[in-house]
Amino acid sequence: MQIRRIVSLLLGGLIAGGTALVMRERRRDTNAPALRGWPRVVVVGGGFGGLRVAQKLAGAPADVLLIDRHNYHCFQPLLYQVATAALEPEAIAYPIRRILRGSPNARFRMAAVQRVCLEERKLLTDEGPIDYDYLVLAAGSTTNYFGNQPIAERSFGLKNLDEAVALRNHILECFERASAEPDEARRAALLTFVVAGGGPTGVEFAGALAELIRLVLVHDYPGLDLKEARVLLIEGGPALLAAMAPSLQKEAQRALLQKGVEVRVNAQVKDVDAEAVYLADGTVIRTNTLVWAAGVRATDIAKELGTPLGKGGRVRVEPTLQLADHPEVFVIGDLAYLEDKGGALPMIAPVAIQQGNLVAENIRRLIAGQPLARFSYRDPGKMATVGRNAAVFEYGRLRLRGFLAWVMWLTVHLMQLVGFRNRLVVLVNWAWDYLFFDRAVRLISQR
């Protein structure tokens, strides 16, 4: 009898707690803050910049609504590890609603923005219209194919989780098909992987793919001579990692060559079909795989605004990150074009995060009737990994390479991940890979 009473009390407590939680979440999904006369701040994009704005406005006298077409925040710097079977997709994604749980005045809605009506202060989305008092556009960037339709249709991008998983599936399928392919030429094409773009994404992906082949898949396919497998990195400019010091560019290329990656600089991809990649100098590379990491541009929402655009289709903004003719609208991250110290700010996460911090502060100042602050970028340094025990790091005059730079890269990326569970899962995967030369996510899924 006593046990029944205890169980009954426990169940009652759980039900009451669950009911309270549901009611609290329902209240959070209402327009309660707006009913208090608070201005509505709508943030478009759940990336680094948009998420930072919503978090920093916690406790502000504002009704904050974050909109994104996905219900999760994706840690894009590690997408290449999903594509090379080092991490599960869930390890680098985190539910936005969970992130905003500690912000009582912030809500989330999963929707895709179709149009921005600046004069009416309204967004048109696939879930209906949304009014705003202040708007923050942080919709990020997309792959830039420079108008080359065959490349857009036949290459693999690396900008979101679905693309990363599709690329992982394709790579593993190539090895499965090659293991049963009797024709030598077709088998060689299946085992040839071309990566276009010598920036951080291209360099990191090429190095990781070479290690996946030489250290892991070599044991999965004992019947294949993986000496036939090739990874080619094609860069249109004279050097890899153009934003870094020449000594680090050479170090990155040396490390890639040591891992078996063929590097070609001053080379441009002109065309691609189902059987080959064609370079501008006439070179023909027989392959079934082209990974495009050769550039990004602002998302199409930039064109909808009807405001001046800068390089890469990015929206020109004032130093306060506002639109010149619409001071209630802020644009940040990859979507924003702002020159600082003689050049345009790079399209990288640290810029978006710092701009998100400033916009949150400026919205607070607008609400309080105070003057706004201007954006000034503080460069935290540049880094790229080339695989196991190899990376390059630059901060001012400080330049590191090799194992120490690699440890710094691991630490920085691990700490920037959202959620303790994700950090733990990624750390365990990295440790397993490092100690046992094995990657547990060698799955061909139907996603």
- Closest to 137 measured CA to CA, from 379, 309, 339, 323: 323
CA atoms within 13 A on the CB side of 446: 0
Active-site residue, selected from the candidate residues 25, 120, 204, 262? 204
Parallel, antiparallel, or unpaired: how do β-strands 276-279 and 269-272 relate?
antiparallel
Active site residue 262: no
Label residue 381 left, alpha or beta by phi (over 0 means left) and psi (-120 to 50 means alpha): left
Distances in whole angstroms, Cα of residue 275 to Cα of each of 241, 286, 287, 294, 367: 29, 6, 6, 20, 59
426 CB-near residues (< 8 Å, 6+ apart): 78, 87, 91, 92, 414, 417
Which positions ≥6 away from 319 have C-beta within 8 Å? 338, 374, 375
Catalytic sites, residue numbers:
204
